[in-house]
Chains A and B, each alone.
Chain A
């Protein structure tokens, strides 16, 4: 009756960077045929309270690619079960389930992109727009021996933000790290970028 004749997808795994989560698997190959895949997920709540319930993923039920962006499905900091099956016409494979449940708090956080410029004596920074989950901790200091490091929280990226009103002729250096409230973790600091007021950014 066409059930489970098709091999189930293998080698499921999740790559997660900066709260973008991608589920990938090895493609099922039937020469000359296009295989569809369906992805479903189950949060810890479903597995504890409604274990028979699996929820179709937002973007990959179905999909032709052997990968699925599950970012919009993984929206709580709990363990998620994930499964995939292949479909070819009326043929449907068995479900293949991710060996270890995925929790978004394991995402890799990379240092943010940072542009430092000035408008007259105003030190202005623009941080990489990584989405609403991200805040930024920005450290800056005057480039001179023994200078004190100042810290400022910046709520969103993608827009130029005034960091400090600086003193004429001074050179300032800036570095930043991301902070993701939902998982309570932060990235490493970015490389420091320096700028001499009335001048262009200096590379270190």
Chain B
């Protein structure tokens, strides 16, 4: 739900001193609203996350460019529906190992918040059907398998001791197709098994 409006400079004015002013509109309401932090700015993006934080509404945004005494017509986005269109980030993945097991703790990504002090809202609260696709790669056997889970705690037991396993996890929500963002691959080794060392 971090919603950033981006645009390109007008044709032929790359590098020129062009300032931009952004306004946004809540579909079905009556007025264009402005955002003070994005009035007469030089950069070509504007963070509208706070303005579009009610993800059940749909929004438009418009940008006007001013160059010297010239003022452009406004360029307008299509209708943006955060609930359907936002990308779902990967969960946080914490791995702890034992001789023959790896515990995986998944923490759902959080909804964007303006003030770090605000209480967090987990994407799990917004998307009750959020699932995780966990991929496990056994480096020694060169085998990969996966699991689809909804809970946030997973124990892979009966693993081979002293073996490197790599894990990456993608969150997904059944519904309209969304770009998946898998987590970084994390690799851990199961501990050595003293018993087998004695044989």
Q: Interface residues, chain A, CB within 8 Å of chain B?
A: 117, 119-122, 124, 155, 159-162, 165-168
Contacts and interface: CB of A to CB of B under 8 A. Distances in A.
Nearest to B159: A120
A129 B169 CA distance: 21
Contacts of A122: 145, 156, 158-159
Contacts of B147: 161-162
Contacts of A166: 158
Interface in B136-182: 136, 138, 141, 143-148, 156-160
A160 B148 CA distance: 11
Nearest to A124: B145
Give chain B's interface secondary structure class. Answer: strand
Interface of B: 136, 138, 141, 143-148, 156-160
A160 B146 contact: yes
Contact of B145 (A119, A121, A167, A168): A119
30 contacts: A117-B143, A119-B138, A119-B141, A119-B143, A119-B145, A120-B138, A120-B141, A120-B158, A122-B145, A122-B156, A122-B158, A122-B159, A124-B143, A124-B145, A155-B148, A159-B146, A160-B143, A160-B144, A160-B145, A160-B146, A161-B145, A161-B146, A161-B147, A162-B145, A162-B147, A165-B156, A165-B157, A165-B158, A166-B158, A168-B158
Contacts of B158: 120-122, 165-168
Contacts of A162: 136, 145-147
Contacts of B144: 160
Given A121-B158, A165-B156, A165-B157, 9 more contacts: A119-B138, A119-B141, A120-B138, A124-B143, A124-B145, A160-B144, A160-B146, A161-B148, A162-B146
A199 B38 CA distance: 65
A179 to B, nearest CB: 15
A161 B144 CA distance: 9
Contacts of A159: 146
A161 B158 CA distance: 16
B91 to A, nearest CB: 18
A122 B158 CA distance: 8
A48 to B, nearest CB: 28
